[in-house]
Chains A and B, each alone.
Chain A
């Protein structure tokens, strides 16, 4: 079974802090994704990566950056956290193109 893990289930940070959310997958998938999920807005794609060191912006990249130094790890970075970044963050990976995405358990981030 594909396993996608995220570094934290719950995280509380203060405004202005730098925040790292880590995601690791164990299936040698090339594509990895970061989404945020907010009530009434569904899942929105922040960034995705289709190969090591390669990234593309999703629908809402503002305020975020990403890092993919190794194939199995995709990090989401909030350079200076703001309260409007309080959300549930979901990481996913994709094996074959057009196939299903495998999701991690999510990180609920609260920015005070």
Chain B
């Protein structure tokens, strides 16, 4: 079974609104990463948050991590049509730090 599970599976909003996606995981992690995938393309890394961090910002992105609840959220503020994509969370599980486990993703559609 997947380590990370995104919620919701799909989200449709209007341009200018905020989009919030959640990720839950099952076991202890070293860090949690968020990736974006445009349709039919490879994944692009967005942001990495380490297990000792609670919040991180990058431009219009805000990521939180709650290790007690084993959950993370990705907030995209003032969304744009170009933000339409699938968003995945991924966790580093092993001590070697070279294995990621991905969730099933949230499909975000931002309507102009």
B42 touches A48 (CB 8 A): no
Does A81 make an interface contact (CB < 8 A)?
A: no
A45-B40 contact in complex given A98-B92, A100-B33, C-beta closer than 8 Å: no
B residues 27-46 in Cβ contact with A at 8 Å: 30-31, 33, 35, 40-45
Q: Which residues of B contact A94 (CB under 8 A)?
A: 98
B48 touches A45 (CB 8 A): no
Interface size on B, residues (CB 8 A): 25
The total of Cβ contacts below 8 Å across the A-B interface reads 57
Compute how far the CA of A66 lies from the CA of B48 in the bound complex, rounded to whole angstroms.
29
Does B61 make an interface contact (CB < 8 A)?
A: no
A103 touches B88 (CB 8 A): no
B98 touches A43 (CB 8 A): no
B30 touches A90 (CB 8 A): no
Which has the most chain A C-beta neighbours within 10 Å: B45, B90, B100, B104?
B100
Q: Which residues of B contact A103 (CB under 8 A)?
A: 35, 42-44
Q: Which residues of B contact A90 (CB under 8 A)?
A: 42-43
Question: What 1/0 mask marks residues of chain A from 92 to 111 whose CB sits below 8 Å from any chain B CB?
Answer: 10100111111111101000
Q: Which residues of A contact B88 (CB under 8 A)?
A: 42-43
Smallest Cβ-Cβ distance to A94: which chain B residue: B98
Does A64 make an interface contact (CB < 8 A)?
A: no
Does A12 make an interface contact (CB < 8 A)?
A: no
Compute how far the CA of A33 lies from the CA of B94 in the bound complex, rounded to whole angstroms.
15
Could you name 13 residue pairs across A and B whose Cβ atoms are closer than 8 Å? A31-B98, A33-B100, A42-B88, A43-B43, A43-B102, A45-B99, A50-B96, A90-B42, A90-B43, A98-B30, A100-B33, A103-B43, A104-B42
A residues in contact (CB < 8 Å) with B: 4, 31, 33, 35, 40-43, 45, 48, 50, 58, 88, 90, 92, 94, 97-106, 108
B residues in contact (CB < 8 Å) with A: 2, 30-31, 33, 35, 40-45, 48, 88, 90, 92, 96-105
